[in-house]
Amino acid sequence: MTENLLLAFGLTLMAGLATGIGSLLALLTSKTNTKFLSVALGFSAGVMIYVSMVEIFVKANESLSSAVGDELGGWLTAAGFFGGMILIALIDKFIPKQGNPHELKKVEDMNQGKATGSQDPALLKIGTFTALAIAIHNFPEGIATFTSALQDPALGVAIAIAVAIHNIPEGIAVSVPIYFATGDKKKAFKLSFLSGLSEPLGAVAAYLFLMPYMSDTMFGIIFAGVAGIMVFISLDELLPAAKRYDEAHLSIYGLIAGMAVMALSLLLI
């Protein structure tokens, strides 16, 4: 149990700090690799959708059916699934539009701002809002990664990798406007890095407030909610972002590859 706990915290931390990788890409490279991002985001969506519907939802239903019976268990599983979707949708709704992390950002945008010497203070506010928005998004993702890894380490690894991939462009989304506004690479990296720390904070919250009350019923509802959160993120964030970076249907190929890899790993492990 202790080993699983440390692994769950470690995976959640790794996934959250991937925003720092996105920031480094923005600060150290001269051009966005759109082909890589399109495939990677599609791959991440494929992993999340497949594992949510084939593994997590099923485990949630089994746990709830065992605890309260098949009929009520089925209803609670569906309620938890759509409850997770509603939770993340509400988070999206109340985030200020100028700080929405779904806004596409490229490294070239930052370099263009540097070349023209443009420093717009309003962009600092946008970048700060974006960092805050990403931090809010990452909190429930941290709960999802942590609880999944605690229940099934192999499943947790797959989810952590998928979440980490989707956090990379979010790191770019924070760094571009902040560097554009201030010309300060350290500040851009710092805010991007800090925005990812809410993911392990979500893990800590899950450990402190959910673990003491963990039962088959509680586990089933949380897992169903995790499935809903991940499907919503995939449909609302990952796939639209992958399509915006897309070249020749690469995002769809990435999606299929993510599903195939996840299917093989579940069959082989």
Q: Distance between CA 150 and CA 228 in Å, rounded? A: 18
Flag whether 102 is marked binding: no
Tell me the per-residue pLDDT of 48-62, one tens digit each, with 9 for 90 and over.
Answer: 899 899 988 999 999
DSSP output for 231-252: HHHIIIIIHHHHHHS-STTHHH
Instruction: Scan for tokens 């996105």, then name that residue.
Output: 22
pLDDT band of 107, cuts 50, 70, 90: low
Q: Which helix (H) or strand (E) holds 44?
A: helix 34-51
Instruction: Scan for tokens 């497949």, then name that residue.
Output: 50
Q: Residue 16, exposed/middle/buried by CB under 10 A (0-12, 13-18, 19+)?
A: buried
Flag whether 167 is marked binding: yes
pLDDT of 104 strictly over 80: no
Tell me the per-residue pLDDT of 64-84, one tens digit each, with 9 for 90 and over.
Answer: 999 999 999 999 999 999 999
Q: Distance between CA 210 and CA 215 in Å, rounded? A: 10
pLDDT band of 116, cuts 50, 70, 90: very low
Flag whether 170 is marked binding: yes
Flag whether 141 is marked binding: yes
Instruction: Scan for tokens 């993702």, then name that residue.
Output: 141
Average pLDDT, the chain: 82
pLDDT band of 117, cuts 50, 70, 90: very low
pLDDT band of 213, cuts 50, 70, 90: confident
Does this model's pTM top 0.85? no
Of residues 97 and 234, the one with the higher pLDDT is 234
For residues 88-117, give the mean pLDDT.
59
Instruction: Scan for tokens 């966005």, then name that residue.
Output: 32
User: Among 131, 163, 132, 169, which residue's Cα sits nearest to residue 145?
Assistant: 163
